[in-house]
Structure 1
Amino acid sequence: MTVNIATVYERSKSPGPQPNGLQAAEDGLWYIDQRNDKVYKLDWDSGEEIMSFQTTTEHASGITIGDGHVWVSSTFGLTIHKIDMETGKTVQELPTPGVGQVAFSPPGAPARDSGAHGLEWRDDKLWVAVPPSQMIYQVDPSDGSVLHEIKAPGLRVHGIAFDEDGNLWSADTASGVVSLLDVSDGRVLNYIRVPWPTEVHGLTIDSAGKLWYCDAETTAVGILGR
């Protein structure tokens, strides 16, 4: 197994205070902000805001696009919102599998159930990364039922992104490692280490195969060179 140290290329700062999920699309780079729960679409070249809208999610952490809609994980709401891309209105909510209390809560912090972080859409199915269970689930987007699941490596699974071969990059924010997984059984095929102080929260792959990240701590949006 080849081990790579990522080269971090910061491209811009997010317009919102805490970018936490990313999704590449032809019309721009979409992201969800965890603090204000707004969806933003950014210009690929400048990083400037093209549009934004407010959601009714709570502590949102993941975003993807599929079936003509935006999907956002409401982490403290314990649901996944299907959102109209034109109006910003939630048209459906799915239950999040694997909810519970995370292992990395600060000492003395009040216990609170938490739900999904990273989301991906592939082959008309929704993939959901859930830190409390440290699992990645494939779910039916019509009702949220679990179709398949794999164990995510590390302690704090966050952003996920499919590559062109159908393998899944999975970020462990706690360890600074992004692993490439075989989604059939969860085997680690490769991984990259991301140097401190960068924290990988959101993760996505553009049409050229570049791996993009966002960092909720620094508001950075950029590329992980592999």
Structure 2
Amino acid sequence: MATTALRTVHAKVIFKGPAIQVNGLEAVAEGLWVSDQQNDQTYLIDYSGKILTSFHSPARNASGTSFGSGSVWVASNVKPSMVFRHNPYTGQCLAAIHLPNPEKGGVHGIQWRPFELGVKPHPAPEPEPQIFPTAHGGALNAGPGVSGTLWVTRPGTNVIDHIDAETAEVLGQIPFPVSRSHGLYWENDTLVVVETNHNHVYRLDPANGNVLDEWQITGVPEAHAMSRSADGRVWI
């Protein structure tokens, strides 16, 4: 039976990254948010590569970056796996969440999305009395649904987690067909994810993980971070 050759797309260098080993990437109107896993610095660069701003993150081995709900989100690919939320203007760390099963699976890529496609936040928990009513410690978080969602690639477990960005509660999970999933972006209500071993890119149904399309990136030894800008260009 005849087989169809895998479609390939060749990458070309536009500019060098702002640091040693960029491993997180998110395209926005102003340019690209990028995080470096060697110095744990996050940068906003324009589409010519000029640095517009930067800040240091508590994330270690920073391996995923996204923008949404007015914040920059940076993933930490060490145990325990975490995501840190930052003010994009000052770099101040606003919050930190532990991922599901934080001691295994790792985290390579994250993508912020609003609640959509029928996905709803979990109900808010019943309020509990303060242990020390006269010295309020503050709530753990602002409650389910207020900060959108995060899709998180978990290469060590061959799954992609969908979590509430405020509470880290699991909203869903889909399988990934191979190991070492990494960067991801959305296209027409489908999730596009790259794997690093062979630079294959999979377009997935976010409801069940079914593979809708597959292609391969050539011209780079390993594709790690990945994002798509509004003009249709895919950045790696």
Same fold (TM over 0.5): yes
Instruction: State the partner residue of 1:153.
Output: 177
Q: Distance in 2 between matches of 1:67 and 1:197?
A: 32
TM-score with structure 1 setting the length: 0.83
1:109 match? none
Higher strand share: 1
Return the offset for 1:91. 1.2
Contact preservation (8 Å) 1:96, 1:115: no
CA distance in 2, matches of 1:91, 1:100: 23
Alignment of 1:22-61 (within 5 A): 22-44=25-47, 46-61=48-63
Greater Rg over alpha carbons, structure: 2
Give the 3-state SS of the residue equivalent to 1:208 in structure 2: coil
Task: Quote how far apart the aligned CAs of 1:198 are.
Answer: 2.8
Identity of aligned residues (%): 31
Flag structure 1 segments of 5+ consecutive residues without an equivalent: 102-113, 214-226
> How many residue pairs were aligned?
199
8 Å CA contact 2:11–2:219 kept in 1: the answer is no
Q: Which region of structure 1 is more displaced relative to structure 2, 193-202 or 121-130?
A: 193-202
Maintained 8 Å contact 1:153/1:172: no
Give me the TM-score of the superposition, normalised by structure 2: 0.80
What is residue 222 of structure 2 aligned with on the other side? 199
Q: Confirm or deny that 1:79 pairs with 2:82.
A: yes
Deviating 4+ runs (over 6 angstroms): none
Higher mean alpha-carbon deviation, 190-199 vs 143-152, is at 190-199
Q: Secondary structure at the match of 1:132?
A: helix
Larger RCO, structure (CA 8 Å, separation 6 or more): 1
The equivalent of 1:222 in structure 2 is none
Give the drift of 1:115: 2.3
Pair 1:162-2:186 in alignment: yes
Give structure 2 stretches of 5+ with no counterpart. 115-147
1:77-103: per-residue Cα shift (whole Å, max 9, x none)?
Answer: 5111011112212111111124445xx
